[in-house]
A and B are shown apart, each in its own frame.
Chain A
Amino acid sequence: MTPSQAHAVQPPMGMLAELTHRCPLQCPYCSNPVALERRRHELDTATWRRVFAEAAELGVLQVHLSGGEPALRPDLPELVAACVDAGLYSNLITAGVNIDRARLETLAEAGLDHVQLSFQGATPEVTDHVANMSGAHARKRAFAAEVTDVGLPLTLNAVIHRANLHQIDDFVDLAVELGARRLEIAHAQYYGWALVNRAALMPSREQVMAAVERVEAARERLQGRLVIDAVVPDYHARLPKPCMNGWGRQSLNVTPSGKVLPCHAAETIPHLTFWNVAEHALSDIWYDSPAFNAYRGTHWMPETCQDCERKEIDWGGCRCQALMLTGDAAQMDPVCEKSPYHDEVQTLAVRDASGTSEFTYRRFSRATEGA
């Protein structure tokens, strides 16, 4: 890399640390890859500690401790403490079904900054069905109460799809009732397990528009009480999402075995090779690895994107989606109305919106075993 290029690449702000792919839930839209990584390949405590220190040195400000279910790692309090030692803001992204009061207090004492708790539905029936875990909803409610009782700030995360899209108002009520400061209404994005289940998850355009209206109304009503962040579903859209705010631009993702990715779905692009923290310094991976430089900035973009006034707004959209829907990761995101594939995507969305309602639940199996 020449010095001028090095200068152009900004350091990352956030890091998603996937501590494990193991999880007691089986959500059919899980963002983990279909080929889940096994426990025996997980990084040990000392390696994570080094990765956090390197991340802070590189410029990372916030670490999202995620999974799978991060609380399945017995060393979670030590990992939180390692974030604190490195000066990093630590965010625990959890399903909230396996952290008892004592453990939560240990995490808070270790210096945890924030908890993001997932709800698969706003009622026990929907949560337990989507997560494929009986009693999950009740456990989550109890956990939420303990989080606020301990004094930690709480965000509720709801992934939205056809089976729970009618519950937007209920999710908002739940967030207020449980004392959450923030609510994420995130429409399912179709990668990994969600791609497998796309026909069971895809809402119709009318349903999406109605949901967006509900979110807007709630935002207005609860201004100053509840922050609502929404991730819109993009198959029905005219413009692509600025995926990750640009490839290799603000954040990075470390998998349980230490592979470093520009986003959690990047492994679906088969010609890219991802460097591992076991073999490379995080800074070298960020600045010099071929995978991070492959779609960074605008140089790789097709002509239509190059000429587009939005090229540094949406950064060409999503590379994984381009590959999935057009067969070429360097194509413009086919959600964009300027894409020759745009109509195909819309047709596909309409077709899937009336598809099967049977889920293929996320789980480990011989057929899906990763490296």
Chain B
Amino acid sequence: MTAIQESDIVRLPRGVRLREDKRRGGWVLLAPERVFQLDGIAQAVVGQVDGERSVGTIIDRLCETYQAPRERIAQDVTAMFAGLVEKRVLEVA
């Protein structure tokens, strides 16, 4: 499993796009010949990826929104990002 550091800056590589799926509801990550349907949490996390923010900043921002323990959010976010990097739909800049 790829380790994600809080100092890492992550971005969606070319060929991966986040968009709303109006017909079915919710948001999707469109990737080469694959579609990832995101749940509300995944959407909130991936929606923070802008290619400029560090993973740590993203965690801070999510803490403000969700008022949950930072440690817990950090764990979820880094695990989710690691999974997406492994699927090659997210990259460390």
Q: Could you tell me which A residues sit within 8 Å of B by CB distance? A: 10-11, 13-14, 58-59, 61-62, 64, 87, 89, 91, 113-114, 116, 151-153, 155, 181-182, 223-224, 226-227, 229
A292 to chain B, nearest CB (A): 17
A-B contacts, 17 listed (Cβ < 8 Å): A10-B24, A59-B23, A61-B28, A64-B33, A91-B32, A113-B17, A113-B30, A114-B15, A116-B33, A151-B14, A152-B15, A155-B32, A181-B13, A182-B33, A224-B2, A224-B85, A226-B88
Contact between A114 and B24, CB atoms less than 8 A apart = no
Q: Does B19 contact A (CB under 8 A)?
A: yes
Contacts A59-B24, A113-B17, A152-B15 given; indicate if A182 touches B30 (C-beta within 8 A): no
Q: How many Å lie between the Cα of A227 and that of B14 in the bound state?
A: 16
Interface of chain B residues 24 through 79 with chain A (CB within 8 A): 24, 28, 30, 32-33, 35
Contact residues of B with A, CB < 8 Å?
Answer: 2, 13-17, 19, 21, 23-24, 28, 30, 32-33, 35, 85-88
- Given contacts A59-B23, A114-B33, A182-B33, A227 and B88 within 8 Å (CB-CB): yes
Q: Which 5 A-B pairs have the closest CB atoms?
A: A153-B15, A59-B23, A89-B30, A114-B32, A114-B15
* B35 close to A181 (CB less than 8 A): no
Q: B14 and A152: CB pair below 8 A?
A: yes
Besides A62-B35, A114-B15, A151-B14, 6 more A-B contacts (Cβ < 8 Å) are A13-B35, A113-B17, A114-B33, A116-B32, A153-B14, A153-B15
- What's the nearest-Cβ distance from chain A to residue B38, in Å? 13
Q: Is the CB of A223 within 8 A of B86?
A: yes
- Cβ–Cβ < 8 Å partners of A223 in chain B: 86
Question: B16 — nearest CB in chain A belongs to which residue?
Answer: A153
Q: Which residue of the partner chain B has the closest CB to A12?
A: B23
Quick one: given A11-B24, A87-B19, are A153 and B13 in contact (CB under 8 Å)?
Answer: yes
Q: Which chain A residue has the least Cβ–Cβ distance from B2?
A: A224
For A11, the closest partner residue in chain B by CB is B23
Q: How far is the CA of A6 from the CA of B54 in the complex (A)?
A: 45
Residue of B whose beta carbon sits closest to that of A56: B23
* Residue on A nearest B28 in the bound complex, by CB: A61
A223 to B13, CA, bound (A): 17
Beta-carbon nearest neighbor of A223 in chain B: B86
Inter-chain contact B21/A61, CB cutoff 8 Å: yes
- Chain B residues whose CB sits within 8 angstroms of the CB of A155 once the complex forms: 32-33
A89 to chain B, nearest CB (A): 4
Alpha-carbon distance between A170 and B35 when the two chains are bound, in angstroms: 28
Question: B87 contacts A89, CB within 8 Å?
Answer: no
What residue of chain B has the Cβ atom nearest to residue A184's Cβ? B33
Query: In whole angstroms, what is the CA distance A254 to B72 when docked?
Result: 47
Give complex CA distance A224, B24 in Å. 30
Residues of B within 8 A of A153 (CB): 13-16, 32
Determine the chain B residues whose CB is within 8 A of the CB of A182 once the complex forms. 32-33, 88
Cβ B30 vs Cβ A61 within 8 A: yes
Question: Given contacts A11-B23, A11-B24, are A91 and B33 in contact (CB under 8 A)?
Answer: yes
Question: Is A181 a contact of B32 with CB atoms below 8 Å?
Answer: yes
Contacts of A11 in B (CB 8 A): 23-24
B13 contacts across to A, CB distance below 8 A: 153, 181
Return chain B residues, CB-CB under 8 Å to A229: 33
Of all chain A residues, which has the CB nearest B32?
A114
- Taken together as a complex, chains A and B put the C-alpha atoms of A89 and B15 apart, in Å, by 9
**A62 CB contacts on chain B under 8 angstroms:** 30, 33, 35
Residues from chain A with Cβ under 8 Å of B35 in the complex: 13-14, 61-62
Give the CA-CA distance A91 to B28 in the complex, in Å. 17
Give the residue among B32, B86, B88 with the most A Cβ atoms within 10 A. Answer: B32
Contact A113 B86 (CB under 8 A): no
Residues of A within 8 A of B23 (CB): 11, 58-59
Distance between B58 CB and nearest chain A CB, rounded to angstroms: 20
Q: How far is the CA of A155 from the CA of B15 in the complex (A)?
A: 11
Q: Which of A10, A13, A91 has the most CB of B within 10 A?
A: A13
Specify the chain B residue showing the minimal Cβ separation from A89: B30
Most central of B15, B24, B85, B88 by chain A CB within 10 Å? B15
Instruction: Tell me if B24 and A181 are in contact (CB < 8 A).
Output: no
**B64 shortest CB reach to chain A, Å:** 31
- CA of A181 to CA of B30 in the docked complex: distance in angstroms? 15
CB-based nearest B residue for A151? B14
Q: Nearest chain B CB to A230's CB is how many angstroms away?
A: 13
